[in-house]
Amino acid sequence: MSSVLPADLRERFRDVKVLVSSFTCKAKGKSETYVGYKWLEQIARFCDTTLVTADDEAVSDQWRKIQTCRQRQYTNKLIRRINGEVSFDYFRFNYRNARQFKNTIAEYDLVHHVMPVAPRYPNALGCMARKFILGPVGGGLRAPDSFRSEVEGHEEWFYKLRALDRARFDFDPFLRRTYNAADLILLVGSYMYDLLPERYHHKCQVLLEVGVEANEYKATRPLSASNSEPLKLLYAGRIVPYKGLIYALRALERLPAEAKGKIEFTIIGDRGESGYEQACKDFVKTHRLEKIVTFLPFKPKHEVLEYYNQSDLFVFPSLAEAGGTVVLEALAMGRPVLAVRRGGPAESVLPEAGFLIDPRDPEYLVDRIKETFLEVLANRELIVAKGAGARKTAEDRFDWSKKGEALMAIYERVLGQRVASKAESKLQPVG
């Protein structure tokens, strides 16, 4: 949903110079690269913006781009996978930024590091800046203790290295210096308070890092309160252990036969070599759920939108989801969401927009998912009401234009008198 740029905000921030640090930043990128671009785009709506990046795209008249290094391409499959988690080139990027901006950093009113999101990355620019905002930062979220044996025992070994992130705040001087220098630390979710040392809590604020362009999500199939049609469930995402798909399947298996006959469950996504995907498919086959469960491979966004359109309830029982773009997409399509009260979904799925379940233990989660399915089957009007709430939530809170305006309120608080003085200076006569 596009919004008219508030004239007073545009006037106040037009001469505020912001240096945006986004290691990856592409308008047509995926995951973090796209999120970095969207934050950049919103900042440039208001401020005099310069981007420093390692990407060779993201060129626009709205900002200047300074590329301090290029990302290398790794041919080894394992190294490429690990680099997806660690981003080796980021540290070279960070070092070159320090050298290149050493004598010019004071020209900027604010440095804002937006990408990578993970809290493990130091930022040299922020340490030299007049004012510095870090984040939103997130990641390092692990499955609850009661799920560890079922989830983490099946993940690739390098995912376990995320547990080191918290310890690095105690022995990594570069990371400590970055967090000490920050005037404000934006967090993707309240769970980050448990991961960051308490000494930083006083300068933290929650701001979910992902958003949606709400006007791109238009449902053409209205939700129906009629029981004559099957309840259409949808899951979209990677099929990996921490996403929790198996718990939804277990809940489905425990339903009475009559209830099963009223449900259709479509699952979109894959992981290739992961044995977890096959385990989910084997579970469906073993319990004779093939008639109501359909597995589909990864599909491009425009195709997934039609599956949202045809669904009634988006099921996403992830146990360690930092953001959850697919959740926001479902909300924007006016589809209520069933999720776990943890990480990003705990911030985005409001009571009027869906159902949140506490992740006490596997049995509790499965039973509560099953009970939610039964509740919705018994009262389809609930889906209609929460669908309307889902769309309103996406428009009011998670549309990128709204997030940009919220960020400017944060900028105004951090910059304080500097914003006011720059705006007033334009009213003073010259000479």
Q: Is omega for the bond preceding 116 within 30 degrees of 0, making it cis?
A: yes
Would you place residue 314 in the very low, low, confident or very high pLDDT band (cuts 50, 70, 90)?
very high
Looking at residue 431, its pLDDT comes to: 35
Structure tokens at 251: 């809940």
Question: Regarding predicted confidence, which is higher, 5 or 309?
Answer: 309
Report pLDDT digits (tens) over 129-179: 999 999 899 877 888 888 888 876 555 555 555 566 667 788 889 999 999
What's the CA gap between 3 and 217, in Å, rounded? 15
CATH 3.40.50.2000 in the chain: give the residue spans.
Answer: 7-138+172-211+399-425, 214-397
**166 burial via Cβ count (<10 Å: 0-12, 13-18, 19+):** middle
Looking at residue 3, its pLDDT comes to: 44
Looking at residue 162, its pLDDT comes to: 58
**Mapped to the 3 state alphabet, what secondary structure does the chain carry?**
CCCCCCHHHHHHHCCCEEEEEECCCCCCCCHHHHHHHHHHHHHHHHCEEEEEECCCCCCECCEEEEECCCCCCCCCHHHHHHHHHHCHHHHHHHHHHHHHCCCCHHHCCEEEEEECCCCCCCCHHHHHCCCEEEEEECCCCCCCHHHHHHHHHHCCHHHHHHHHHHHHHHHCHHHHHHHHHCCEEEECCCCHHHHCCHHHHHHEEECCCCCECHHHCCCCCCCCCCCCCCEEEEEECCCCHHHCHHHHHHHHHCCCHHHHCCEEEEEECCCCCCHHHHHHHHHHHHCCCCCCEEEECCCCHHHHHHHHHHCCEEEECCCCCCCCHHHHHHHHCCCCEEEECCCHHHHHCCHHHEEEECCCCHHHHHHHHHHHHHHHHHCHHHHHHHHHHHHHHHHHHHEHHHHHHHHHHHHHHHHCHHHHHHHHHCCCCCC
Q: What are phi and psi of 234, to 5 degrees?
A: -140, 135
> Is the pLDDT at 70 greater than 70, yes or no?
yes
> Is the pLDDT at 96 greater than 50, yes or no?
yes
Looking at residue 358, its pLDDT comes to: 95
The span from the first CA to the last CA of the chain, in angstroms, equals 44
Question: Regarding predicted confidence, which is higher, 356 or 418?
Answer: 356
Looking at residue 411, its pLDDT comes to: 94
**202 burial via Cβ count (<10 Å: 0-12, 13-18, 19+):** exposed
Looking at residue 23, its pLDDT comes to: 92
Looking at residue 429, its pLDDT comes to: 39
Q: What is the mean pLDDT of residues 205-210?
A: 91
Question: Regarding predicted confidence, which is higher, 186 or 27?
Answer: 186
Report pLDDT digits (tens) over 169-194: 888 899 999 999 999 999 998 989 98
Q: What is the mean pLDDT of residues 2-19?
A: 73
CB atoms within 10 A of CB 153: 8
Report pLDDT digits (tens) over 244-283: 999 999 999 999 999 999 999 999 987 755 688 899 999 9
Report pLDDT digits (tens) over 32-62: 888 999 999 999 999 999 999 988 776 677 7
Q: 214-397: which CATH number, 3.40.50.150, 1.10.10.10, 3.50.50.60, 3.40.50.2000?
A: 3.40.50.2000
What's the CA gap between 205 and 223, in Å, rounded? 36
> Is the pLDDT at 316 greater than 90, yes or no?
yes
Question: What value, to the nearest 5°, has the Cα angle with vertex 391 and ends 388 and 397?
Answer: 130
- The candidate with the shortest Cα–Cα distance to 42, out of 62, 16, 26, is 62
Report pLDDT digits (tens) over 221-236: 999 888 889 999 999 9
Would you place residue 425 in the very low, low, confident or very high pLDDT band (cuts 50, 70, 90)?
very low
Mean pLDDT of the chain: 87
What's the CA gap between 157 and 155, in Å, rounded? 6
Q: How far is CA 402 from CA 12, 43, 192, 263, 309, in A?
A: 17, 12, 23, 36, 24
The class that CATH gives domain 7-138+172-211+399-425 is alpha beta
Q: Estimate to the nearest angstrom the gap between the alpha carbon of 408 and the chain centroid.
A: 20
